[in-house]
A = this chain, B = another copy of it.
Amino acid sequence: MDVLITYDVNTQTREGRRRLRKIATACQNYGQRVQLSVFECTINQMQLETLEAKLLGIMDVEQDSLRIYVLKTGREKALKVYGLDHYVDFQDPLIL
């Protein structure tokens, strides 16, 4: 299942900057950073629930915003990209 995670963290405080780093690190373990605050993850339901719990444990719901979109038809059908694209498709054949 392809999942998109976007977040805004209030970084006006040192604590906020720490939350931002921890949220990015948590997402990094499950997917790819495609934009500054946007991750694409190909994960199963259990991994999604685990990641959600981790992110909820990090964020401050009074100051931060977290949006999780499940791309039910898959990222290929859903997505159009223009300009810089940092996504690496590990399904593609690796040509050495």
Contact = CB atoms under 8 A, between A and B. Distances in A.
Bin the interface of chain A by size: 35 or more
Interface centre among A61, A64, A67 (most CB of B within 10 A): A67
A48 to B, nearest CB: 9
Q: How many subunits of this chain does the assembly comprise?
A: 2
B6 A38 contact: yes
Contact of A37 (B36, B62, B64, B69): B36
A35 B7 contact: yes
B84 A77 contact: no
A70 B79 CA distance: 6
A82 B69 contact: no
A24 interface: no
Nearest to A79: B69
In the A-B complex, the 4 residue pairs with the closest CB atoms: A65-B84, A66-B82, A61-B83, A8-B35
Interface of A: 4, 6-8, 34-38, 52, 55-56, 59-73, 75, 77-86
